[in-house]
A and B are shown apart, each in its own frame.
Chain A
């Protein structure tokens, strides 16, 4: 079940990649907000309780979500430049909601530099770059729950 809210030009590519991320991560919901555009992609396995869908579009809404496509993550996990999560928690890409990200795709980081924070029960753990290099991928979105060993960032 997907629900999309957006203002401004409709970016189907972005929605598609968010939906893919939703499948890959097994999340139930992803919200993406750039300030000018806000997209929420969500799915529910249980019967709709909180977001009743107008009866006009049941068939599309009922399209089953296929088996989680974990292939991309498996690739990422075995990537030599992968930085994985040392714990279960929630990832934050910036020190606080309004601040710039610790590191962006394309940026160069040095060894020991903080890449993101992972919070569990109010313990904030900085994830540091194990080596210097260029951040080629960030595999989690802000506020996303992460599992132990899950790849977070790729540094090459």
Chain B
């Protein structure tokens, strides 16, 4: 293991140069019995970064792509809640690093900067008791409009002059306390914090599922983290998986 920049405790880092996907590297560590709580696997480049449902995550050098290994004992369902804790921590991190811009959480765990997609997460369990929290932040460059389903932006576009390492170190500083809080107090405080930072609550949205799209108004999160979508006469629908889009009215 080599250490690049040091991260605030309890985080430690395994810095790699070029990998397929940091999530795959982190999972391999877990399966080999070499995982440690709060170990961060980072890479300068990913050749096979992934998003939801096999989508490509564009990962050039200069952007942040890393995966955090977190020990979870509360079952797989509860582990999904950690994505919300990480989203809250990342919004607070970015708001501090780029004071002029507005950052919001977009369900389930994307981050928007000035209404455009800036960061995303992909969570995968590994070897029974580990959760791999993959985090991608467009620090230097956003994907081209053709490559992105949702309008994208990079931190550099918003006036940030720092590096991916700066973002990672600052994120760990924010995420550590949230992780401890989630372990101690459960999902309720995370849910409240996420809701306070959420994009589009009360606004019209379209949620794309695997085989259909739902139109409605975003209500909020239920106690498990599912998205509540008010469909008027059709009632409130509880969405566990999908992609949220806002009609063009939003900037």
Binding site for B on A (CB under 8 A): 29, 31, 33, 44, 46-47, 49-50, 86-90, 92, 95-99, 119-126, 142-143, 145, 148
Nearest chain B CB to A95 CB, angstrom units? 6
Q: Pick the residue among B75, B109, B123, B234 that contacts A87 (CB under 8 A).
A: B75
Binding site for A on B (CB under 8 A): 52-55, 75-77, 79-81, 83-84, 107-109, 121-125, 131, 209-212, 224-226, 232-235, 240-241
A143 to B212, CA, bound (A): 9
- B-side contacts of A98, CB under 8 Å: 54
Known pairs A87-B76, A89-B241; A124 contacts B122 (CB<8 A): yes
Q: Pick the residue among B108, B212, B224, B240 that contacts A29 (CB under 8 A).
A: B212
- B-side contacts of A95, CB under 8 Å: 54
Nearest chain A CB to B81 CB, angstrom units? 8
Q: In this complex, what residue of B is CB-closest to A42? A: B212
- A-side contacts of B76, CB under 8 Å: 86-87, 123, 125
Q: Are B234 and A44 in contact (CB under 8 A)?
A: yes
A29 to B231, CA, bound (A): 15
Q: Are A122 and B211 in contact (CB under 8 A)?
A: no
Q: Pick the residue among A97, A123, A142, A145 that contacts B123 (CB under 8 A).
A: A123
A46 to B234, CA, bound (A): 6
**What is the predominant secondary structure among interface residues of chain A facing chain B?**
loop
Q: Are B240 and A142 in contact (CB under 8 A)?
A: no
Q: Are B75 and A90 in contact (CB under 8 A)?
A: no
A38 to B84, CA, bound (A): 36
Q: Are B241 and A119 in contact (CB under 8 A)?
A: yes
A86 to B125, CA, bound (A): 13
Q: Are A121 and B84 in contact (CB under 8 A)?
A: yes
Please name the 5 residue pairs, one residue from A and one from B, whose CB atoms are nearest each other, closest first: A96-B54, A143-B210, A123-B80, A90-B241, A123-B123
A56 to B186, CA, bound (A): 54
Q: Are A143 and B80 in contact (CB under 8 A)?
A: no
Known pairs A86-B75, A87-B76; A145 contacts B124 (CB<8 A): no
Q: Are A31 and B212 in contact (CB under 8 A)?
A: yes
Q: Are B226 and A121 in contact (CB under 8 A)?
A: yes
A129 to B72, CA, bound (A): 22
Q: Pick the residue among B55, B79, B210, B234 that contacts A92 (CB under 8 A).
A: B210
Q: Are A120 and B210 in contact (CB under 8 A)?
A: no
Q: Pick the residue among B52, B75, B233, B234 that contacts A122 (CB under 8 A).
A: B52
A54 to B123, CA, bound (A): 45
A71 to B22, CA, bound (A): 44
Known pairs A86-B75, A89-B241; A123 contacts B232 (CB<8 A): no
